Amino acid sequence: MVFAGMEEKMILKIGRKKKDEASAVLGQKKKGKLFFFIGIIVAVIVVCLNVIQNVTVTKMSRSAIESDLRFSYDAFAKQSKAMIENRLETYFAHLDFYTNADVVKSGDSEQIWDWYKAHASVRPDVFDYVAWADRDGRFLADINSSSTVSDRDYWQQIMIRGSDYAVDDPVTARSTGKTVTHICKAAKVNGQTVGFACGVVTVEHIERIIDGIDLKDIGVAVLFDSTGRVLATSSNKAAFIADFEKIKERNGIDLKKFADALTKKERSAISIKNGAGKGQYVILDPIQYTPWKVGVFLNDSKIYHASNLVAKILGVSGIIIIVFIISIVASILFFSLRPLTVVENTIRGIASGDADLTKRIEIDTNNEIGGVVEGFNQFAGKLHTIVSTMKSSKDSLVDAGRLLADSTADTSAAITQIIANIDAMNSNVTRQTDSVHQTAGAVNEIASNIESLNKMIESQAYSVSQASAAVEEMIGNINSVNGSVKKMAAAFEELEEKAQTGVQKQNDVNAKISEIETESQALQEANAVISGIAEQTNLLAMNAAIEAAHAGEAGKGFSVVADEIRKLSEDSGSQSQTIGTQLSRITATIEEIVFASQLAGEAFSEVCNGINMTNNLVSEITNAMEEQNAGSHQISVALQTVNDTSNEVKTASFEMSEGNKAILMEVKTLQDATFSIKDGMEEMSAGARKINETGAALSAIASQMDSSIQKIGEQVDQFKV
């Protein structure tokens, strides 16, 4: 134990030494960090102020320079527009030779065409050929070719919309197949347009229109047609088109902005980015007499060159100023923080070695550092007093800790003995509880059996009552059925008599129908006789008519009589046939009635036989119901005897159930008392275990407290007071 204590003290001393060395290094780092932190703050403030100044001056200078340069660029754009329009005016002036010719006044397109062809040799070089377009849309060229141009925009613009001039976008010429532009001027006679002269200019001449525009290196002039196609540029056309395609690919927003400006009829200026992503200032001007626009593309780098130069100068001067200010601030910080070195060394002397609390910092300054030193000296004095008190209290604490440990050990042993006794008692209570449980189970089973018996008896009594009631109801039903059967027998006898009467009546009807059938046959024979007489009368009438015809004028009267007799015989024959037909139908109907009457007679006979059989069955049922009535009376007497016996058994079962309930209540009381005892023992056992755990925890706390007191003593002993 002694060696272990010495070894622990040596380890603590080595640890304190290493800690002091680490604290010294940390103090140097902190001092360096303070100096660096203040320097960084000052540098950031100076840099921010310088950046704000540079940005403000740059924006102001850029705004002024941009305003001046864009005024100059507007002049460049107007100059480019004027040059193109002057070139077009020259083209129109060349066409005056054709529109003012005397042949035009004739209005004859054929004569005008011949005149144009005759003067093809004096055609200006700028035109590939010249043509006359008339009101019918014919396009008659001086190269001896003709076509129809009524669908062309330039023809519609002059001949339909009434313009004096027209220039179209480059198209493929129908006469030569070249890509050309039509420069057109109206020809008027007495103020009316009779046609127009059209000078056809190739694309090569169009591309040379803006060759004279020189923007040097600040930008490029571009001529666009109405669809946005590049017609000519003041620099490399292929390079500009390639860069313009990149704008389409990379900048959808800029392309839309440019397309909107291109479709406007008035002058517009926009800012976009070129294919390389650099800014450009674009001015678009419409060209008079044409659907074209001239655009001047100017690089922002040229616009902002002067302002960028000013920004660079300000940036360099700002860096120099920042370095100068930081140097001055660093010198001031260095001389201001030197007293802190003395304070730091003194504090480290107090913190190192044996922690001598009798040392104090001695420095004579009246600034904030002196106030910090005075506060630290006061804190060291207070700490000296506290540590002295802790040293004097350490021994008393050690004795109290040891006494607490001894008392805790004795308490833990006593509690262990109590827990063993409680566990033994708890085992006995558990066995008693099990016995009470078994007894209660047996009693409950007896009670359940008695209750089941009681229910069976009640069920039997109820069934007997139901059976008795059913038998009585059956007796009543049998009596009712007997009455109904007797009434039915009387009804069947009456029905049998009426059926016999019906058979007799049906026989009488059959006899009458037979007589009617015989008489209808006699009528049929009489009708046949009448028909024969009618035929004989008709023959006699025909013979009389023949004889009257032979007699001539003397026989005319007789002829009329013979004719009337013939008609009468024909009518008699026709009526005889009708009567015969009706008699045939009546005979057929009578035969059907006879057959139906025979069937009805047979049916009445079968009904009479069925009624006789039913009457016999009713007699048998009446005898059976009387026998059943006697048997039902015997069953009712036997059920009454069974019901009385069931009531006696039910009374005895109820008395057994009441006795069993009293036994069950006593067993329940015993069981509750046993459960209460068991719960109390379990609570006592849990409490004892809790006390034991608390004692063990208290013992551990006492041990930890003893160890902590020893460590505190070792730490307190390090201070020199």
**Model confidence over 544-566: pLDDT tens digits?**
778 777 777 777 676 777 777 77
> Do residue 230 and residue 349 come from a single domain?
no
pLDDT value at 704 more than 90: no
Which residues have CB under 8 Å from 58's CB, separation 6+? 307, 310, 311, 314
How high is the pLDDT of residue 21?
52
Q: In 3-state terms, the chain is what percent helix, strand and coil (to 5)?
A: 75, 10, 15
Q: Are residues 298 and 328 in the same domain?
A: no
- Closest by alpha carbon to 720, among 355, 422, 421? 355
Last residue of a domain, one of 240, 273, 303: 303
Confidence of residue 4 (pLDDT cuts 50, 70, 90): very low
Residue with tokens 């310088």: 50
Q: Is the pLDDT of residue 405 over 50?
A: yes
Q: Give the β-pairing of 171-172 and 179-189.
A: antiparallel
How confident is the model at residue 6, as a pLDDT? 46
Q: What's the first-to-final CA gap in the chain, in angstroms?
A: 28
322 and 293 assigned to the same domain: no
Q: What is the mean pLDDT of the chain?
A: 74
Q: DSSP string of 35-94? A: HHHHHHHHHHHHHHHHHHHHHHHHHHHHHHHHHHHHHHHHHHHHHHHHHHHHHHHHHHHH
Note the maximum CA span of the chain.
Answer: 200
Closest CA to 184 of 94, 113, 253: 94
Is 270 in contact with 261 (CB distance < 8 Å)?
Answer: yes
Sorting pLDDT into bands at 50, 70 and 90, what band is 483? confident
Give yes or no for residue 26 having a pLDDT over 50. no
The number of domains in the chain is 3
Q: What is the pLDDT of residue 637?
A: 73
625 and 513, same structural domain?
yes
436 vs 617: CA distance, rounded Å: 74
CATH number at residue 557: 1.10.287.950
**pLDDT value of residue 336:** 62
> Residue 365 is which amino acid?
T
Q: Residue 68's pLDDT band (boundaries 50, 70, 90)?
A: low
- Give 192's strand partners: 189
Share of the chain above pLDDT 70, in %: 65
Q: Which domain holds residue 283?
A: 72-303
Is a pLDDT exceeding 50 seen at residue 266? Answer: yes
Least confident of 1-5, 13-17, 277-281: 1-5
Question: Are 291 and 431 contained in the same domain?
Answer: no
Same domain for 539 and 628, yes or no, is: yes
**Same structural domain for residues 91 and 44?**
no
Q: Judge whether 184 and 133 are in contact, CB under 8 Å.
A: yes
Same domain, 468 and 549: yes
Structure tokens at 368: 């904030």
Average pLDDT over residues 327-348: 67
Q: Per mean pLDDT, which range of 359-368, 411-420, 522-531, 586-595 is the poorest?
A: 359-368
Please indicate, yes or no, if residue 387 is contained in any of the structural domains: no
Residue 394 lies in a domain: no
User: Is pLDDT at 137 greater than 90 in this prediction?
Assistant: yes
pLDDT in tens, 363-391: 666 666 666 666 767 676 777 677 677 66
How far is it, in rounded angstroms, from Cα 221 to Cα 79? 11
**CATH code for position 99:** 3.30.450.20
Instruction: Specify the pLDDT at position 165.
Output: 94
Q: Token digits for 518? A: 């015989």
- Residue 365 domain flag: no
pLDDT band at 321 (very low <50, low <70, confident <90, very high): confident
Which percentage of the chain shows pLDDT scores above 90? 13
* Residue 603 within any structural domain of the chain: yes
Residues near 98 by beta carbon (within 8 Å), at least 6 away in sequence:
104, 116, 130, 132, 187, 197
31 shares its domain with 85 = no
223, 287, 324, 378 from 169: Cα distances, Å: 11, 12, 66, 98
- Residue 281, domain member (yes or no): yes
Considering the domain architecture, whether residues 288 and 174 belong to the same structural domain is answered as yes
Is 373 exposed, middle or buried, given 0-12, 13-18 or 19+ CB atoms closer than 10 A? buried
Instruction: With respect to residue 382, please indicate whether it lies within any of the assigned structural domains.
Output: no
Residue pair 370/361 in contact (Cβ under 8 Å)? The answer is no
Do 288 and 325 lie in one domain? The reply is no
Q: What is the pLDDT of residues 653-694, one digit of tens each?
A: 667 677 667 776 766 776 676 777 667 767 777 776 777 777
Q: Are residues 286 and 416 in the same domain?
A: no
Contact by Cβ (8 Å): 337, 367: no
